[in-house]
C-alpha cells in the first residue's frame, strides 16, 4: 500500500471490548501507519530468513537428511542459549566454603547481630574465635529510618506472565490463553463484556478515565488515607510500543468477588491478579520503620536491625514480600556506649551455591531485560523450545536436553550471531527504528543477509563436499571397533552412531532422560547409559524368558531375547482408577516420560511422574514423584495434598 492509497483504508484500534470502547473506536478511526507496516514486514522476513533457511540445515547436518522437528529462530535460539549456558555454569560450579558469625545476646528480649562480611579462610575462623571470646561488645550507633514502599506499575505482557507464573503457577502460554478469554469477554449480568484491556502490550500508560474510576473506588472502599495524594502515572521504557494501554480491568468497579461466579477458577484468579495490581497503582505508599544497631567488638563490627509496618497503604490489596528483618525484635534502651552482656557466638559454615536454572518466568524476565523479542512472543518462545525437545521442565525449572545442547553448539559454531543477545537486541532496535521512520527496511534486511548468506553457503558447500560441518563425540566406545561413538539425531530423538561410519555402521539408542555432561562438542554418556540400562526384571509373557531393557524411538521398553516379544516397562503399581490394570512407562516427544494404565484406551489414567505405591492416607490414590512438586498423591482430594496447599 502506497501513500496515495492510505486514505482508502482506516485503522480501528480497540484497547478493550466493551460497548462504549467499540463505539468510540468506530467513530474515530485512525490512519494506517506505514512505518509500522514496514517494521512488521521486516520482522516477518527476518524471522523467515532464519527459521526457513537454518532449520533445514540443522536436520541435514545432525541427521544427514531433511525432516521436520528441528528448528532455529531469531529469538528462540538466543533463549535456548541462555538456558544451555546456565546449565554449563551449574555443571562446572565448584562450591567454595565460607563462614558467617552471629552473636546471640541474652537480653530481654534476646536479639542477634551478624558480623559484617564473610570469612573464607579456615585459619581466620580460629583466630576470630579466640579474639571474640575476650572482646567487649559495645553499642556503637543506633539509628532509625522510614522505608516507603511504592506500588509497582500496572501489568504489561511480560510482567503479567511472570506474576502469574510465580503466584498462580501458570505457564506463560496458559496465562495468555486465559487473558485472551478475559479480553474477548464473558457473560456478566446477562451481557457479554470484555473484562480486561488488550493483553499484548509493553506500555504502562493508563487512560485518565480509568485512573479516576480507580481513585473513586479506593476512596469509597478504603478511605481517603489509602488514596495516593495525586494520580500516579508511570513512564514507559525507551522504545516501548505505546499502541495499547497497560493491562487493566475495563471496569474497576467489577470486583473479583462480583465476577467470580461467572468465571472459571483460572479466569477468576487471573482477573483478581490484574484487578489488584491495577488498583494498587493509585493507592498510597506503604510505610515501614527500621531500627539499626551497630555493635563493636574490638576491631570487628556486628550489625542488627528490625523493621515493622506503620501504614500498609497499597499492600492492603497487593501482597508484597516481607522485609528481611521484619518481625525481629530489638530491646528498648539500646544507646551508644552501652556495654552488652557476653553473647553466645555461632560460627555457621556454609558453601556458595550454583546459579539457579531459569524458570519460565525467569526466562521471560531475562529476554525482556536484554531487549530481545516482543512481549507478545515470549509465551510462544517458551513453548516452542519445550515442544521441540530442546528443554524440559524439571521441578518447575527449565533444563536443557542433550538435543538442546547439540543444537545450540551447532548455531554457536556456524551462526554465532543468532545466539548472541547483543546482536539480537540490536536487530530489535533496528526494527524499532524502522517503525519510527529512522531506518529503511530494505537497508536493514540487506545488511543482515550480506553476512547471513555467506554463513549459509559455507555450510552448504561443506555438505556438498561430503564433509561434516559439525559433530558431537561421546565417551562411549563402539562395541564393534572401539572408535568413539557420536551423537546423531533422527525425528527429534537422539542415538549413537560409530564415528567411523560408513566403514562401521554400529548404532545404539540413547534414553530420553539419560544423565550426561556436555562441553564444546564432547558429551560424557557412558555412566548415564549404564544407569539407564537398569530396569525391573520381568519374564516374557509368551515364553517366560527374562526380558531385556531396550531404548527406542518411543522411550524404554522390554524385549525378549528369545522370541522377540515386547512390553512396556512395568511399575508394579495397580491403576487407582480401574483397579485392574498396571501403571507402565510411556513416552511422547512432547511430554517426555509419563506413566499410564496398560488398559488404555479402556482406562485413560495418566501420571506425570513414576508411581511409588498406594496412598495410605486416602486409600484411593497412588503416591508418585511429581516433576515439579515432589512426592504427591494422585487423588486431588487427598488430605496430604490439601495440607501441602496451605
Distance between CA atoms of residues 569 and 560, nearest Å: 12
The pLDDT assigned to 552 comes to: 64
Whether residue 226 contacts residue 287, with contact meaning beta carbons closer than 8 Å, is answered with: no
Confidence (pTM): 0.76
| Range among 201-205, 279-283, 467-471, 582-586 rated most confident | 279-283
**How much is the mean pLDDT over the chain?**
86
pLDDT at 192 over 60: yes
Residue among 580, 16, 561, 532 at smallest CA distance from 249: 16
Distance between CA atoms of residues 376 and 156, nearest Å: 10
- Grid cell of 364 as nine digits: 521471560
- Grid cell of 349 as nine digits: 559454615
- Grid cell of 624 as nine digits: 508418585
Catalytic residue among 98, 183, 198, 624: 198
pLDDT tens readout for residues 498-520: 998 889 988 887 876 678 899 88
pLDDT at 535 over 60: no
Residues 471, 472, 476, 481, Cα dihedral to 10°: 10
Region 156-175: mean pLDDT is 91
How would you classify residue 230: left for phi > 0, otherwise alpha for psi between -120 and 50, otherwise beta? beta
- pLDDT grade, residue 203 (50/70/90)? confident
Whether residue 383 contacts residue 173, with contact meaning beta carbons closer than 8 Å, is answered with: yes
pLDDT tens readout for residues 78-107: 999 999 999 999 999 999 999 999 999 999
- Grid cell of 368 as nine digits: 525482556
pLDDT tens readout for residues 333-385: 899 999 999 999 999 999 999 999 999 999 999 998 888 887 778 888 888 89
- pLDDT grade, residue 562 (50/70/90)? confident
The pLDDT assigned to 645 comes to: 45
The per-residue DSSP string of 338-396 comes to: PBPPPPEEEEEEEE--PPPPP-HHHHHHHHHHHT-S-GGGHHHHHHHHHHTTSEEEETT
Whether 198 is catalytic: yes
Q: What share of the chain is helix, strand, coil (3-state, %, to 5)?
A: 35, 25, 40
Whether residue 594 contacts residue 577, with contact meaning beta carbons closer than 8 Å, is answered with: no
Region 198-208: mean pLDDT is 89
Question: Residue 590's CB: how many other CB atoms inside 10 A?
Answer: 9
pLDDT at 199 over 80: yes
The pLDDT assigned to 146 comes to: 96
Looking at the chain, the whole-number percentage of residues with pLDDT higher than 90 is 43
Q: 405-421 burial, b for 16+ CB within 10 Å, e for fewer?
A: bbbbbbbbebbebbbeb
pLDDT tens readout for residues 396-435: 899 999 999 999 999 998 988 888 888 888 888 888 888 8
Angle formed at CA 494 by CA 488 and CA 496, multiple of 5 degrees = 55
The pLDDT assigned to 534 comes to: 62
Which residues, 6+ apart, have CB-to-CB distance to 362 below 8 Å?
A: 356
pLDDT at 280 over 80: yes
Looking at the chain, the whole-number percentage of residues with pLDDT higher than 70 is 90
pLDDT at 19 over 50: yes
- pLDDT grade, residue 571 (50/70/90)? confident
Distances (CA, A) of 510 to 84, 516, 608: 20, 11, 21
Higher pLDDT, 604 or 511: 604
Three-state SS at 142: strand
Domains of the chain: 34-92+359-464 (1.10.460.10), 97-148+289-351 (2.70.20.10), 157-280 (1.10.290.10), 473-532 (no CATH), 568-645 (no CATH)
pLDDT tens readout for residues 102-160: 999 999 999 999 999 889 998 899 899 999 999 999 999 999 999 999 999 999 998 99
Distance between alpha carbon 434 and the CA centroid of its chain, in Å? 31
Higher pLDDT, 493 or 3: 493
3-state per-residue secondary structure call for 512-568:
CCCCCEEECCEEECHHHHHHHCCCCCCECCCCCCECEEEEECCEEEEECCCCCCEEC
The pLDDT assigned to 646 comes to: 42
pLDDT at 291 over 50: yes
Least confident piece of the model among 7-11, 42-46, 222-226: 7-11
Strand locations in 239-351, DSSP E? 286-297, 300-311, 344-351
Three-state SS at 251: coil
Amino acid at each position: 500500500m502506497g501513500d496515495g492509497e492510505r486514505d482508502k483504508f482506516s485503522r480501528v484500534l480497540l484497547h478493550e471490548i466493551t460497548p462504549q470502547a467499540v463505539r468510540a473506536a468506530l467513530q474515530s478511526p485512525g490512519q494506517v501507519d506505514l512505518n509500522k507496516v514496514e517494521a512488521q514486514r521486516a520482522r516477518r522476513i527476518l524471522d523467515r530468513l532464519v527459521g526457513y533457511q537454518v532449520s533445514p540445515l540443522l536436520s541435514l547436518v545432525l541427521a544427514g537428511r531433511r525432516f521436520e522437528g528441528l528448528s532455529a529462530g531469531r529469538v528462540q535460539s538466543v533463549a535456548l542459549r541462555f538456558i544451555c549456558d546456565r546449565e554449563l555454569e551449574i555443571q562446572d560450579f565448584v562450591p567454595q566454603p565460607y563462614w558467617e558469625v552471629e552473636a546471640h545476646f541474652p537480653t530481654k528480649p534476646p536479639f542477634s547481630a551478624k558480623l559484617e562480611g564473610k570469612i573464607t579462610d579456615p585459619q581466620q575462623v580460629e583466630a576470630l574465635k579466640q579474639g571474640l571470646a575476650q572482646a567487649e561488645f559495645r553499642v556503637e550507633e543506633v539509628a532509625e529510618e522510614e522505608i516507603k514502599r511504592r506500588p509497582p506499575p500496572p501489568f504489561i505482557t511480560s510482567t503479567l506472565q511472570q506474576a502469574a507464573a510465580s503466584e498462580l503457577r501458570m505457564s506463560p502460554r496458559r496465562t495468555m490463553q486465559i487473558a485472551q478469554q478475559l479480553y474477548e469477554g464473558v457473560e456478566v449480568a446477562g451481557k457479554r463484556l470484555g473484562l480486561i484491556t488488550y493483553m499484548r502490550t509493553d506500555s504502562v500508560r493508563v487512560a485518565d478515565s480509568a485512573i479516576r474510576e480507580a481513585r473513586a473506588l479506593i476512596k469509597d472502599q478504603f478511605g481517603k488515607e489509602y488514596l495516593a495524594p495525586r494520580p500516579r502515572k508511570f513512564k514507559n521504557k525507551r522504545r516501548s510500543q505505546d499502541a495499547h494501554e497497560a493491562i487493566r480491568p475495563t471496569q474497576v468497579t467489577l470486583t473479583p468477588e462480583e465476577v467470580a461466579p461467572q468465571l472459571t477458577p483460572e479466569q477468576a484468579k487471573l482477573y483478581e491478579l490484574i484487578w489488584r495490581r491495577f488498583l494498587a497503582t493509585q493507592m498510597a505508599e506503604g510505610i515501614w520503620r527500621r531500627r539499626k544497631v551497630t555493635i563493636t567488638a574490638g576491631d570487628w563490627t556486628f550489625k542488627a536491625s528490625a523493621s515493622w509496618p506503620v501504614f500498609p497503604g497499597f499492600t492492603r490489596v497487593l501482597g508484597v514480600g516481607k522485609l528481611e528483618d521484619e518481625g525481629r525484635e530489638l530491646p528498648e534502651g539500646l544507646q551508644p556506649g552501652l556495654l552488652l552482656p557476653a553473647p553466645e557466638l555461632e560460627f555457621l559454615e556454609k558453601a556458595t551455591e550454583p546459579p539457579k536454572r531459569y524458570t519460565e518466568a525467569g526466562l521471560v524476565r531475562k529476554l525482556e531485560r536484554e531487549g530481545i523479542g516482543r512481549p507478545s512472543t515470549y509465551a510462544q518462545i517458551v513453548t516452542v523450545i519445550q515442544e521441540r525437545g530442546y528443554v524440559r521442565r524439571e521441578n518447575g525449572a527449565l533444563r536443557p536436553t542433550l538435543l538442546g545442547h547439540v543444537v545450540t553448539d551447532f548455531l554457536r559454531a556456524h551462526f554465532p550471531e543468532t545466539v548472541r543477545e547483543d546482536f539480537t537486541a540490536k536487530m530489535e532496535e533496528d526494527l524499532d527504528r524502522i517503525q519510527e521512520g529512522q531506518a529503511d527496511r530494505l537497508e536493514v534486511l540487506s545488511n543482515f543477509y550480506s553476512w547471513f548468506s555467506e554463513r549459509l553457503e559455507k555450510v552448504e558447500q561443506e555438505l556438498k563436499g561430503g564433509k561434516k560441518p559439525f559433530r558431537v563425540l561421546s565417551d562411549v566406545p563402539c562395541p564393534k571397533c572401539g572408535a568413539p561413538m557420536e551423537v546423531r539425531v533422527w525425528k527429534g530423538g537422539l542415538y549413537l552412531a560409530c564415528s567411523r561410519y560408513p566403514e562401521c555402521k554400529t548404532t545404539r539408542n540413547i534414553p530420553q532422560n539419560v544423565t550426561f555432561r556436555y562441553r564444546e562438542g564432547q558429551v560424557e554418556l557412558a555412566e548415564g547409559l549404564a544407569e539407564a540400562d537398569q530396569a525391573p526384571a520381568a519374564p516374557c509373557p509368551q515364553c517366560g524368558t527374562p526380558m531385556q531393557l531396550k531404548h527406542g524411538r518411543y522411550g524404554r521398553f522390554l524385549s525378549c531375547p528369545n522370541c522377540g516379544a515386547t512390553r512396556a516397562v512395568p511399575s508394579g503399581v495397580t491403576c487407582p482408577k480401574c483397579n485392574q490394570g498396571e501403571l507402565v512407562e510411556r513416552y511422547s516427544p512432547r511430554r517426555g516420560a509419563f506413566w499410564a494404565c496398560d488398559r488404555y484406551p479402556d482406562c485413560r489414567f495418566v501420571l506425570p511422574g513414576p508411581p511409588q505405591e498406594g496412598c495410605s492416607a486416602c486409600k484411593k490414590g497412588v503416591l508418585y514423584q511429581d516433576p515439579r512438586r515432589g512426592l504427591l498423591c494422585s487423588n486431588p482430594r487427598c488430605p496430604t495434598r490439601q495440607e501441602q496447599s496451605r
